[in-house]
Every structure is written in structure tokens, then in C-alpha cells.
Chains A and B, each alone.
Chain A
Amino acid sequence: MDWLEEELKQALARKEPSADFDARVRRRMVRTMPRWLAAAAAVIVLASGAGLYRHRQGEMAKEQLLQAMRITGEKLSVVQEHMQSIGERQ
């Protein structure tokens, strides 16, 4: 290598970027999250919420049905006892 090439090596020595370079890259990474990814995340949250709501509604309906059957059963018992007492009197 001649003198000019040596001078070029020195003149073109690597330089460091700013001290906060890494932080700036990471900030831009967060800002440039694709819209489709954000939308997909929203859909997943909504779908999970809707599914949970339907499940709860189903559980409540089941509970209400069981309650209705219990009440009906109790009333039937009362009617049955009444009928029995009528039958015994006759």
C-alpha cells in the first residue's frame, strides 16, 4: 500500500453513531408495528371476550333452568301431598 492508500485508511476509519443510537432504533421499532398486527390483536381480544360472554350466558341459563326445575319439582311435591291427603280423607 502506498502513502495515499494509508492516508485513505486513516481518513475512512470507522466512526461511532450517537450514544443513543440503539434506543432510537428500538423506539422506531415500536412505532412501526404493522397495523395488521395491531388489528389482529384487537380481534383476538374481542373474540375471546365474546366467547367468554356467551359461556357465562350459557352458564346462567343452565342455572336458571335448574332453579325452575327445582321450583317445579317442589310445587309438584306439594300438589302430590295435597292429592294424597284428599285421597286419604275419601
Chain B
Amino acid sequence: MIGIVSTPKAAIDFDAAMQEHRSMVFSVAYHFLHDRDQAEEVAQDVFLSLHKNLHEIESPSHAAHWLRRVAVQRSIDASRRRMRRPVVALENVKEPSVKPAAADPLLGELLRKLIVSLPETQRMVVILRYQEDLDPTEIAAVMGIPVGTVKSHLQRSLALLREKLERRGVGER
């Protein structure tokens, strides 16, 4: 008779984790890559990786942190592999034909395009700060960079975005 080796019970339910965190994982990838298809593929890869490494997850909060960290890594990897759409320098982003008003969908789209033109690390810092509402210490832990670096990236990114928007006549209401 062949004995069956039993595996230890996982600390989290995979399906529940996917349901709870799929929008977070997808959104990190989408806002970083600004490409829905690529973001879907990255998000699928992240959950496949979770399934393979389920035995390493110790708790639901660990799962959230793990997923966020892997989503960041895979998004950056995908961006580096991407060949078809080169990153447009901030200076080369065309001005919209109509100046968007604040809280206008056009402004949101313009902001998303400007974010994509930021260098990788700054881009991800901005996404983790404003999509995930993480503070600089939490961002530093996810990305494995010093807190001081996170803060300076944030300051520089905001200054740059502000400058570009003001050039396009978009400013504080």
C-alpha cells in the first residue's frame, strides 16, 4: 500500500485571497504599465506565484503584503521587458486639445499618462502612495529601498507633475 504524504494546511484560502486582492494587484500593474492586457497578465502571474508559494504565507495580512511586493516586482519586470511602447519623456507628452478642469476625467487620464512617463522607481512610489495610501515607511518596506529615498522620490515626482500641469494651464482650483 502506498502511503500518502499529507501537506500542512495553508494559513489562507487561495480563492478568498484572490477575491480580496485582485483589484489591488491589477491596479498596481495597470497604473504602472498603463496597458490593460499587460496588467491582466502580470496580475495572473502574481496569483499563480501565490498559489505555488502558499505554504510560505503565514496569515491574511502577510498575504496582502506578499502580494503587493510581488505585484510591484512583476510590474517593474514587465515594464523592462516591454518593447512595443517606449516610455515617453515627460517633456514629450502632448498637451491636450482642451485644458482639463480639475476633477475632470480628462485630468485623471492626463495624470495617469504623466505618471507613466516618470522613471520606474518614482512611478511605483507615487502609485503605492496614492493608490494604496501607504506611508513612506510602508513603501520603503515593500520596495526594499530607504525611507529617505522614498520621501525624496515623492517630493520630486510631485514637483515635476505640478510643473507639467501648470505649463498646460492646469492648476489649483
Contacts and interface: CB of A to CB of B under 8 A. Distances in A.
Interface string A6-19: 01111111111110
B2 A47 contact: yes
B113 to A, nearest CB: 10
B13 to A, nearest CB: 13
For chain B, the bracket of interface size reads: 35 or more
Contacts of A10: 103, 108
A13 B131 contact: yes
B112 to A, nearest CB: 5
Contacts, number: 86
Interface of A (DSSP majority class): helix
A25 B172 CA distance: 43
> Which among B30, B43, B130, B173 has the greatest number of chain A C-beta atoms within 10 A?
B130
A8 B24 CA distance: 16
A8 B126 contact: yes
Interface in B17-64: 18-19, 22-24, 26-27, 30-31, 39-40, 43-44, 47-48, 51
Interface of B (DSSP majority class): helix
A15 B27 contact: yes
A26 B130 CA distance: 31
Contacts of A12: 27, 31, 111-112, 115, 126-127, 130-131
A5 B130 contact: yes
Contact of A7 (B48, B103, B131): B103
A25 to B, nearest CB: 5
Contact of A14 (B27, B107, B111, B161): B27
B48 A28 contact: yes
A13 to B, nearest CB: 7
Nearest to A18: B40
A29 interface: yes
Interface of A: 2-5, 7-18, 21-22, 24-25, 28-29, 32, 44, 47-48
